[in-house]
Every structure is written in structure tokens, then in C-alpha cells.
Structure 1
């Protein structure tokens, strides 16, 4: 009789009507567990009415936070934080986390439910969340821990397909292609009714190749030698010489440092010096000079510490230094929530890794399934578990410090770990301890011991590095909120790439090595494609995929998909060799075209996506600075080491340390200058140096007035002009015309035309006779005139741009 009344009557709790059931409900109820109905109506529904309806009931419109709890549909649909319950899984249900006050959401907010009431809700969800009268309720939401079963359409997206080796296309003009690359380019041009531009002359090729591969213009001697070499392989030997130069690693290492978001300081709230970051920079330069296979390069940066444990002990230091990739990113060191601090660092490492190596934007998946790409929350937290199992920091708290590893043997490694714990203990006592209740003697003792530990720590060679920490899987953080824990996700790789059954992660380690090896599989659809596209972009100024850091649906599709796949397969077949990829590109007629434009082609393809000519490119900030020093005879060719004289964890914001101009007075190559977050060298800033807080594989190029003013007024250009002029005036027996020809060959890699010589001679004559310097000696006026001419030529587009 009681059951009958419950099914057909009106349930009154505290005088409130909570629902009337009709014939459909009666029919449904006849087939369900009568005991379950009684349990719900006597134990569960009253809890909702009494404690939840005020904010989430039938009289609240959508309910607080868009959550209604007066129907099963409302609970399954959930609110702004996601589904409130998952049938059969109370531990994964936000409702249970909320009533336990075990997260960011604590409900009811004023008074926690009794333990017995929480147990009743949990039991109800575990039994399937039976709700009498709920007819045609949609299937429960997929648990965020489950890998997603992607549609065939999602899996067919071009970036997720394994690259295949396409047939080299046929073309009508068989005389033009020089390599297979040219066939792919010409086929597209012919289909559009376009013809490739004429080949560049030898001096243009030499200057282009030299700046492209080593970041410096050729010397007059190198120009003369190349122009006099009529052999068929003359340019090929130039390319070989440039690739074998140690300057190659400095030039292309800087490209990699852009995507690795390299910096010598933390930035953000506490701009502490990364005193040992330079070791990672030098590792990159050395690796590229040695043509280390790119797949190995990736593995070392993600898991060098794990490789060191099983490989030749003599390479331990190099492999440890490589993991600096994961730790040189910015960190919120003043964060007072240790869980948030750790998960934010994990997020930065995860997003950087995916964008750098895979071209996938994973940052937004921390909070929700990707809106455009087939990347689910479970994919994010499957990867996040790998990085959370990685030790990056000594501890997580206010004024935290990053982890390092001693170099030169296990004794140094052990001592550094000991010192880290000593530093952390005393630093924590002084920063976060009860300093008001601490005696002067106690405070002094902490400070003395801390200073002593710092002094010893500074003397030991070490590297910013990671290693495995507390290994384990990670719970979903619902809506990205670090306090709102959801279901546990096993460490694994994105299902769109690895499949549903991906289970390559062992339980004994973080999984970084497994991740690195999976990413560098010869048949991986993204990793080799992404780096091939990056190299193409750094040569041509635009990638075959224009959005070099995003291969997802919001990115561009490849302009030449078959060429990208062909280059990718050749790259893998060549042992992932970057230098062989360079040769393949530079020896093509495509790369060797002029930048000459024509009206018809501009109408058909104004952005040059079909590559009908070579696009003119401006020198990057570092290349411009290095070239100014080089042509004026000032460049210091010493390699490696650091120019940043700081103590470990020194705060560069205090006392304006990061703004001191002497930091950048060195004549070393620009790659060795300090990169300080929040205080980037003004010369770099003027010419579009990227923000070192985030990766950037596609630098902007702007043209603004400040750049012209810099070339006219900066001390750097002034000093280069003086030194270049002094060099020309040293030999008294050389005629001015010969001097001017030498300047032209030094700056522009060509002989000056007669009319140019005449114009420059006129400039010198007018300058020397100017009234403003009439009182100076003849020698001074002559020197000033040559300095003025050199400055004008250094500021010219022909010097700053590469044809």
C-alpha cells in the first residue's frame, strides 16, 4: 500500500509537493526494483528536497551554476562544472565530491551532510541512480576518464594519417626540375598556369645560403672563390662547408630555442635567474652541429635522465642537461597553493611538448574536450599523469625552487640533492615559517646555514633537469579546477593517435621515455611532419603548413600535402637527419629561384603559397646584430658558456639587475646573450624577438619606424660603422674606389656598379666639406665621412634583407 501511494500519489516533504507520477511512470515502475524505489523515495529524494532545492530545485529556473537536481536528467546533464553524477561510479561523481566537501565545490555550503546521508547518496549512485518516473532518460554521460571512440571522419583528418611516399608527379617542363622537390612544386605551378621565377645568380645564392645556414654573410674571399669556381658541384660544396661549420649549430640552435621557449630567467612573479639554463642552450647547439638524429634529440629532451640510467655513463651529463627542455619554462613561484602550482607546471610542460613536437594545442583540454580537434579530457590527463610523475621542483610552496642535477659524477649528483633539501628547509623556515615567533638567534642561524648551503651549491657544476618523482596516475580536474577531482585516468597517449587500447606506460616510471619513443616512431603521423615543416618554414619564411605550431583543424591545411609527405618519408629514411634535409631543400631549384615578381603571378597567388618565386626575408634580430659585428671585424667567435653572472635563484627584478646594459656589451654571437623574461634586450625587441615565455615557431616580421631609428641612432650601428670605416682607411695605398668595392662585397656580396661608386664618392665629398665639421682636421673630416657612408650602407635594405 505504501509503495502504491508513492507511485501514484504526491510526495510531501516538509509540506512541499515534489512530483506526481502518471501512467508511464506506473508502467516503468512495474519493472524496476521495488526496494530501490523505496530506498530512493525514503532516503535520497528527501535529501535533495531538504538540502538542495533552495538553490537547484524547480523554482530556481536553471538553478545555481546551471544545475538542477529535481530530475535525473538534470543531474546527468549537470551544470557549469560538468555532469553531477555518473551512474555506478560515486567516486567519480561530482555530486559526491561536493557533499563530502572534498574539492572546490562544497555543498550544502552552510553545513556538511551527515556521514550516513553521504553514504546513502553514494549507495544510490552505485546501484545505478534509480529515479522512479524517469522515462527515456539519455544514456549517462561518458566518464571523462574513458578514452574517446572517435568517428571515422575525425580519424581521416590529414594530420592523423601516417605519411605515405607519394609518386613524384609528372610535369610538362622537364628541363626545370633539379630534384624531386622541384617536381612537386612545378606540378602545382603548371596546374595554376604559373611558371617559376628565374634562377638566382651565384652571389645571391652564396649570400642567401650563408645567412640561411650560419647566420652570417659571406666574406669577400669566400665570394671570390665561389665566383671563380665553375665546377658543376660548386654550390653543393658551399652547402657542405656551411653545414660543417660550427656556426651552423649557433644559427639553427637559435631556431630551436624559439620553440623550446628558452630563457635565462623565470619571469612571472619572481624573475629569478636560471643560472644553469645555458647548459641546455649549449647542448642544443652541439647536438645540431653533430647532426644528432632528430628522433634521438627528442628522446633526450623528454627522458634523458631515464636514458642515462641504462646507457654509457660517460654521456650521463649530456643526457641530464637535455631534460632542461622541460624545466626552463616560466613558473609561478609565489603560488601559495601547492596543488595548483604543480598542476600549472605540468600544464605548461604538457602544452609545450604537444605543440613543439606534435603541433597540437592541448592547453584547453585541461578544462574540456577540445572544441575542434579530436582530443578529449582523458587524453590530457593521461598525458598529465606522465608529467605529474616527473620531479621538476624541489618542493611546491611559496618561494619554491626548481630541481637541478649535479654534473661530473654521482658524488656531485648526491651532494646537490642534499644541498637542495638543506636550502629548501631553511628557506621555507625564513619565508613561510612563524617568523614573528622566531628569535633573532634562530633567524640568524637559519640565514647562516642557508647562505653556507647556497655558497657550496653555486660552486658545483649542475644543470636544470628533471627526474622521476612520485609515480602514479592523475585524477581529472573537473573544468580544470585543481580542487575538483574527478575519476582517475591511466597514463596513456591521445587515443586519436595511439588508439583506445594504448597501454605502453609501465607502473614503475613516469612514462616519459615511453612517450618519447612513441612520439618518435618512424610511422608517427605528426612528429616527423612537424619538424620537416618547421625546417621548410625557417628556409622559406612560410611553412608548407602555414600554422607551424598548429596542425589541428583550426590550423592551415598543407599547401603541398604530397611534398610534405614525401619530404617526411625521406627525412625518416635518412635517419632523421636535419643536415640531409637542409641539403635536399637548398639543392632544389625551388630554393634557388630569384625573388623576382610578375604581375600575372601576383594576381593568381599573391601570398606565394605555390612558391613561384623566392620570398625576400629580413634578417632576424640576432642575425642582424651578428652581421653588424661580423662585417666590422668585431665578432667574438668563442662558443659556449654563460655571460650571466648571477648567484643561484637570484631575483633579477631587485635592484634593476635585469636592466643593466652591460649584460649585452659582449661581442659574442647573439645566441649567447642572456634572454631575460620580462626584460628582453632592446635590440632584440626592436626586431621581433619572440616572447620567451611561450614557444614560437613562426616569428613575426614587422616594419615600424623604430627599426629605422635604431639603424640611424643606436650605439651598436654607430660602433660597427666606426670599425668598418677604420678597417677601410687603414691601408693608405688603396684607392677610394677599391675601398668602396671592398665595402660593397663585404656588405652586399657583390661588386658595386659604376653609378653607385660615383654616388658614394659624391657622398664622401659632400660630407667632408660640410660646414658643421669645417673646423676639424682633414683626417677627422675624412674619417667622419667614411663613418657616415658606412652607416648609411649598413642601414640599407640590401644589407638588412636577404634576397
Structure 2
């Protein structure tokens, strides 16, 4: 009864108490017996006539009938009403939903002598059901049909003529199992399994949304391929993808696997709110985990309690909390090609070893510099005694100085060069700390065209007098970057946050940056002399901020700057010439409103604490400075041994920076040191936080072991617990669908109350239990299924059986369904001999019609690849989310914008047009025709036989042979009469034609092979 009540009643009277009408709860027995606002019990067990529920269903008054007309739900049919009445008469027992009950392996049925024999235990369950239904099983499919079926299922390619000949030559019972074992051992097995996983993982080669910028995630896809080929146990496959980074001493592959969680769409569109989209990304991870591993529609509980399943909104955000604590941005960079953090470096060759050696050399030099502080002390003390009684040490000269004394033609001079500072939107001169100062409105700025071009390893210093007008939440003082402190903020910046100076060095915010913030704010309306120094180390500890010559206490905001802060051509960045140093304003940011800046200086060196104090005007001999400040100055300016060590240290920094510059990166998972707080978001809105929640799982499904960590690894352990009621059922159901075209549960994405009931519940639970007991062995499960007599049945059946079970839910015949888009294209390439079998690597761009990308409105243009890249498997075809490969879309491929568990299977005229006219298929038909003409130069009948064998896996019957002969004769006559048409036709595609073959004969044979490609059996699995 649960699916019926769920479908007709739960939207208004189900688990969602906020949407519940009339206070009537029908998803629990207690609620149904209690009744609603009327206080009349909805159900009286044993007495349907006294049950208000049945009375309202049978009511004729539209004001009383349930479901009401405005619900737009179908009324109860007489059969459903009768079923409901019988259920109430029998006591109205409420049972837990079948999918949430523990998996208890059923007894394997015994078959009597009247039932066809079983090959394995799958058949015992299926044939017992046949016996109950009075259905006959079908005989085994023809050998060539069976071989084609299992070959397509296990490697996604058609069998070769040699495969077929060898199989037909061995009539022994072991031949089929040997073929299965060969296919499971094939490296192409991994390609076939990966293809389906990409839909669930929402894998694409672009970010999606409006800009839909390219990004290469193929290393993750190649890991999936290896995992399937190596038969990684399914529980490990789940664990590595959800939480491989949290395993003890994780391997590179285990970390790489977590890119699964980052494959969602991302945006960089102007005007987007970073936190809004970050929340979308976390939600997508929850939804994908729910669909891919649990078969649940968790997204239905994002804004309110789930209307049909026992998942509350609070449960949803407890799951949300598991994925909410990585150092990520809601936007990717609009101005650079930086990989959104967290990332994993993809080392090649000996680069990782060389990098490790450089880090070891750096640490050794830093130890040597520390040791030198002690050994240099005698010299330092003599030097200090002399220095304090003599002239103050000199301060290095700046390379730029903006005194802000004059404005002419929207320019103000740099006193140290001929550079002119551009003034935008008319900042004004006002009385300043020294002469005049520049006052900014918050919308204007000053731009230095050449100074301040610093990188990650460049030491530098900035100094200025400034007077903030207030303690605004945010005010930009100066920067060399393109945009707000977000993913677009490559460079460096000084920003006041509620008056607190914040200085950051950024490759990609937030996860690839070094940044500090002062603990104390600057007083508004008061002049402060601010100095920022940086030592080139790439560490937050290398940044210091001084006020009026003295260091300020700092808090570290970020401390992971792993790549350069400059824009680089090799990364594909814009602004490769450099982003200019700019004062007081920035694109998409809050300027220095009503703030004053004076005496702005830039130094190409890190000033010592002594030099900073002197530069700020503190009197010599600087009694307020501690001795450690003088020691730092001595070591940096006067100690030859320290200077030599520091020079070598800087060389190592530069070498390390140059080494990592070309190293590719991929998005992965890495939790923050402290978990980010998670709240129930009211109505799912990012800016409406409600109650705080801790990571956790829905208790109604299966309580989480209290000994598990409350992080993603604990979540993965909960999902892969052998006692979990969903994980194994969902996995085996999806594998069953892979082979039969539909699962034992038809709704592979929804095992909840709105999903379909299993057609063979005992078989499903037996398979699930066996799957777990086998060590989550996918290959063993595939083998079990494809060697069963159930799978090996002929897919044809008598009309009466087809009429009784049109969808083959009872499995009284073999599987029959159309191939996936990728298999159709790959089949044409394989049959023609064009297929390049190389495994893995970056995406390729084969043929597609002109204008598809251009018309998508993303500003991208398609550049077709050349050579072997045109003939790689479809698994490797470049997938743009806003414009997926059009020929594959025609055959129902998905955009992969979200996790997708089921593809449609349509039949349209456009599909035939693709097979007849798409360059990929025409070229494949022509290359196959060349082979046929070469192998059978004087035998058209043999050519037809060979074409059929290669494309549909069998020989043509007499009628098909006669039709192909007629087609060839007609087309040869046409092309002989129109030789220019023949030449144009056989010139389609990049692969050069064989000039030794006459064009009319080649063109006619190409039409013949193209016709066979349009045969129903080419695109169908039978």
C-alpha cells in the first residue's frame, strides 16, 4: 500500500510536517489512527466503512473527495480502492518501506522437473517466478547473437569477424564462459564501465553555466577506467571518491579519486554571489552522493522535509555538513585559468622527486640561517654597540614615490621616474600629512603603470601614509589584481576590513594564498604610517605589517601559496603583460571611500624592522626596538655568511617556483583545519541560516556507528557498511540495468516511496547479499549475470508473451534495447577499422557540424582535431555542457550538468539522418567499403556478407542479400553516370581515400555499408 498512499496522499499528508494539511499524517500508523483536525481516525483497522480515508476517497462531492481536484492527481481506480479496503479489513498494518529494511538473503528456490534447468542461481529465482505466472522461458539466443550481446555489454564494442568465427568454431559449453572471461580481462572493459559512471558523476570537460570555460579533468576519468579494469572493490570505489584524502597516508590515486566531488558545474559570471554558488556546489555533492550510491532523491529535502521519504530537512543539512568544509570559492577565476582549490598536483616524470629535493634544500638552508643567528652573535654585539652610537643605518631607496602634490591632465607624477600615474574618475588633492594628499571617493583610483610587478618569490615593501574615514566593512587601499578577493584575485592586495589591515598574496583565493590580518584596527580620521614587507618565501610568516614604524600583531588568514601570483601565458591567463599597481579602487570591490593616501612608496626589497622604523620617522637610536630587530637588520645587511645563505635560499625559492609553474593541477577534496559551521538553510536559501547542525546521517535509514568519525570518511564507512540497506541493492540494480536495459527496480535513481517496487525482490536481495559477500566484486557480479540462462535467452518471443509482458519485467525473454550513443559511434569506428584503441588521455574533438558551439552563446569556437584524435572512443570526446556532441545528443546522451542515472531511449528520424549523413559515419562507411572492395574485389555478395558480419554480427538472410545486391547495382549505375558525385561522396572525412579503387564502385559500396549501419540491428542490442 505504501507506493499507492505515497503517490496520492503524501504530498499533503506525508513526512513533511510543514506542508501537512489538516494536521493529518498518513505516513505513520499512529498518525492515521489519530486522524487530523477533525479528530476522526482516518483508518479504523478492520473496519473500512468506519475509515474516513476510504470515505473521502469514495466521496462524490468535489469539496470532500481525496485527492482533491486542485491536487492534479489521478483519482483512485476501483481496483486500487478495493485493494485499500482489503488492507484496512486485514488490520491496516504499516510496514517499513522495503528498501530501508535490512538485506536478508532469501533461500534459493528449488525447481521442479517441469521447469527448464538453471545455469546458475539467478535462474532459480527467475524461473520460479515464471512458473508462478505461467510463463515459458525462451531458448538460448543464437551463438552469434549472444556473442554480440555480451561483447557490447562488457566492452562496448561489437565482436570482430575473428571473434565470431572462433566462437562458432567451438560448440563446447565452456566456449561462452571463456569468451566472458576474455572480455572481462580486456582493457576495454574499463572503458565501457567508465562511460556509464561519467553520467552519474556529471563529468564534463567544461565548468558549465554561461561562460562554460574548458577545464581538464581527464586524470580523474582515467583513474575510474583503471579502477574498473583492476576491479577495485565497490566499497573502496565509493570510499576513495567520497573521502580518499582522509584515509591514513592516502596514495595519489586515493586523493585523485576525490575529484568526483568537484565535478559539478561552477560559475564565474559577473554579478554572481560567491556564497550562493558555493552552497549550490555543496548541495550538488549531496544530491550526487544520494543518487549515485543510495538511490535516494535527497534534493527533495533541501527546502523542506521530504514529502515521501523519512528524510527531514535537518537530515539533509547534516549530510550537507560532510561536504561543507573544504577551502573553496563559489566562483572560478574570470581572469586566469587557475584550478579552483583545493587541488592536487599531477606530477610527471621525475618532477616530484626534484621538487622534494628543492624543499629539502630550502629547509636545510633555513636551518643554516637559524644556526647562523647564534654563531654571528659576537660580531653582532660589536656591530650593535658601534651602530647605536653612530649615524643611523641607511634605508634602501624606493623604486617609486608618489608624493601627490600636483595633478595635470588626470595624471600625477612619480618623483623617481618619468612615469605618470593615471587618475581615474578625478580623485582630488587635499591637505595631507606631507604637503598634499590624494582623497578618494570610493569609485575612483590611481594606477601606476610600471612599478610593483612582483611575483611569489620577490621580496618587496610598500609604505604610505593613510587616513581612513571610518571602519567600513571593506575598503581597498592598493592592489595589483583584477577583482575582489575571490577566485579572480590573482596578485597582491592591501584591504581594510572593518579597519583591520589585511594583506594577501594570491594565486587563487582562498586555497592558494598567503594572507594576514592585523588584530587591531586603524583609528579612523587619524593619519597612520603603514608599511607592508614581504620576504619572498611564499609563507604568511614572511609578511609583516607595521604602523608608525612598529610591527603590528597579526593573525594568519591563509598560509598555502603554492604557485606564482603573476599572470602567465603558459597558464592561459589574460593580462599576461602584468596587472598594474592600483590605489583605492578595484573592479567589483569597495573602494577607499573618503580615505586619504599620501607619500606612497614601493621598494624592490624587504625592509628590515630597523629600516621600517627609520623610514617611518622614529628617532635614532630607536630605543623602542628590541634587540632581535637589530639582529635581523645585521644579518640581512652586514653578515656575509647570512647574505650568502640567503642568496642560495632565494635561488632555491625561484627554482621551486619555476619547477611547479608548468605542473598541472586537478580539483580534489581537502578539509579545512576547523570545520565550517553548517546551518539548516530556510527554504534552501544560502542567506537564510537557521539552526546549526553537526554532520550526521538520517537515522531512519540506518543509525551511524558512534565510533565513526563525523567527516566524509565516516560517511563513506556508513554507506559501505555491509548492513546498509541501500548501497548494495542500488549497485546491483544498476548493474542489472546495464545488461537488461532496466533494473529489477525500474527507478534506479529512486528507491524511496515514489520509486517502483522491485519486480523480483528476492532476487534483488540475494544478489545484493552475494555482492557484499564476494568482497564487492563487480566483475564477479557481471560474470554471474551474463552466464545465467536468464541473460542468455533469445530476445524474441511469441506475440502472446509480448502482449502479456511488453516491457519484459518478468524476464521471460532476453534483453533487447537500443545501444547508447557512444556505442553506436564506437561500433561504426570499430567495424570500419578506424577505431584508435589507445586508453586514456585528454579529451579529443572529432567531427561535429559547424556552428554548434558558436550558437550556444558562450563565446567558444570549435576547432576540430586531426589524425588519430578523430577516431578515439567516444568516451574521450570533448564534452561541453552547454553544447554536448550533437550526434550523441541525438541518440539521447546527456548534458552531464547534474548526476543522471537514466538516459532516455527515443526513436526519431533525426537518428537515421545522423547515421546517413554525419561525417563520422559516412567516413566509417567509406573506409569499410574500401576494405570490402580490397578483400572481395570481384564478389559483391561476399562484400554484403562481410559488411553484415562486421556491423551486426551475423550473416544476412536471403532477402537481405537480395536487397543489398539490388542497392549496390542501382547505386553503381548512378555513380557511373555521375562520376563527380562519386568523387565528392568518397572524399568525405579526413582519412584519404584509396586512389586505386574506382570512385563509382567505392561510392556504391559505401552506400551499401551505410545502409547496413542504418539496419535496426546495428543500433540495437538483442
Instruction: Give the alignment's TM-score, normalised by structure 2.
Output: 0.58
Among 137, 159, 174, the alignment partner of 1:218 is: 159
Provide the secondary structure at the position in 2 that maps to 1:323: helix
For residues 554-565 of structure 1, what are the structure 2 equivalents within 5 Å? 554-565=754-765
Among 659, 663, 666, the alignment partner of 1:463 is: 666
Quick one: distance in 2 between partners of 1:434 and 1:727?
A: 73
Provide the secondary structure at the position in 2 that maps to 1:475: strand
Quick one: distance in 1 between partners of 2:677 and 2:450?
A: 41
Quick one: distance in 1 between partners of 2:446 and 2:94?
A: 62
For residues 78-97 of structure 1, what are the structure 2 equivalents within 5 Å? none
Provide the secondary structure at the position in 2 that maps to 1:641: coil
1:794 aligns with 2:1018: no
Unmatched 5+ stretches in structure 1: 1-76, 81-151, 417-432, 646-650
CA RMSD of aligned residues (A): 3.1
- Residue 789 of structure 1 deviates from its aligned partner by 0.8
Quick one: distance in 1 between partners of 2:346 and 2:176?
A: 43
1:452 aligns with 2:568: yes
Provide the secondary structure at the position in 1 that maps to 2:679: strand
- Residue 443 of structure 1 deviates from its aligned partner by 10
Among 307, 326, 336, the alignment partner of 1:371 is: 307
Quick one: distance in 2 between partners of 1:471 and 1:743?
A: 62
Among 237, 262, 265, the alignment partner of 1:327 is: 262
- Residue 171 of structure 1 deviates from its aligned partner by 3.3
Quick one: distance in 1 between partners of 2:825 and 2:452?
A: 48
1:763/1:644 Cα in 2 relative to 1: closer, same or farther (>3 Å)?
closer
Provide the secondary structure at the position in 2 that maps to 1:627: helix
- Residue 477 of structure 1 deviates from its aligned partner by 1.7
| Paired residue total | 625
For residues 544-693 of structure 1, what are the structure 2 equivalents within 5 Å? 544-643=744-843, 656-657=859-860, 659-662=862-865, 666-693=870-897
Quick one: distance in 2 between partners of 1:642 and 1:203?
A: 35
1:406 aligns with 2:359: no
1:177 aligns with 2:118: yes
Q: Which residue of 2 aligns with 1:522?
A: 722
- Residue 253 of structure 1 deviates from its aligned partner by 0.7
Q: Which residue of 2 aligns with 1:439?
A: 447
1:635 touches 1:668 (CA, 8 Å); kept in 2? yes
Quick one: distance in 2 between partners of 1:344 and 1:281?
A: 23
- Residue 758 of structure 1 deviates from its aligned partner by 3.3
1:770 aligns with 2:951: no
1:382 touches 1:473 (CA, 8 Å); kept in 2? no
Structure 1 residues 702-711 or 477-486, which shifts more? 477-486
Provide the secondary structure at the position in 1 that maps to 2:791: coil
Q: Which residue of 2 aligns with 1:753?
A: 957
1:783 aligns with 2:1002: yes
1:635 touches 1:667 (CA, 8 Å); kept in 2? yes
1:625-647 per-residue CA deviation (whole Å, 9 max, x = no partner) reads 111111111000111110369xx
Higher strand share: 2
- Residue 439 of structure 1 deviates from its aligned partner by 1.0
1:614-664 per-residue CA deviation (whole Å, 9 max, x = no partner) reads 24211211111111111111000111110369xxxxx99888435444499
1:555/1:384 Cα in 2 relative to 1: closer, same or farther (>3 Å)?
same
Q: Which residue of 1 aligns with 2:229?
A: 289
Provide the secondary structure at the position in 1 that maps to 2:449: helix
2:305 touches 2:312 (CA, 8 Å); kept in 1? yes
Quick one: distance in 2 between partners of 1:698 and 1:394?
A: 29
1:336 touches 1:397 (CA, 8 Å); kept in 2? no
- Structure showing greater radius of gyration is 2
Q: Which residue of 1 aligns with 2:202?
A: 261
1:156 aligns with 2:96: yes
Quick one: distance in 2 between partners of 1:434 and 1:530?
A: 57
1:435-494 per-residue CA deviation (whole Å, 9 max, x = no partner) reads 852515279944695323963776203222111024144122222222222222121111
1:189 touches 1:195 (CA, 8 Å); kept in 2? yes
Q: Which residue of 2 aligns with 1:193?
A: 134
Quick one: distance in 2 between partners of 1:369 and 1:789?
A: 59
Quick one: distance in 2 between partners of 1:414 and 1:384?
A: 40
Quick one: distance in 2 between partners of 1:578 and 1:563?
A: 17
1:159 touches 1:525 (CA, 8 Å); kept in 2? yes
Provide the secondary structure at the position in 2 that maps to 1:187: helix
- Residue 567 of structure 1 deviates from its aligned partner by 0.3
1:413-446 per-residue CA deviation (whole Å, 9 max, x = no partner) reads 9999xxxxxxxxxxxxxxxx98852515279944
1:406 touches 1:413 (CA, 8 Å); kept in 2? no
Higher helix share: 1
1:214 touches 1:248 (CA, 8 Å); kept in 2? yes
1:741 touches 1:751 (CA, 8 Å); kept in 2? yes
For residues 712-723 of structure 1, what are the structure 2 equivalents within 5 Å? 712-723=916-927
- Residue 342 of structure 1 deviates from its aligned partner by 2.1
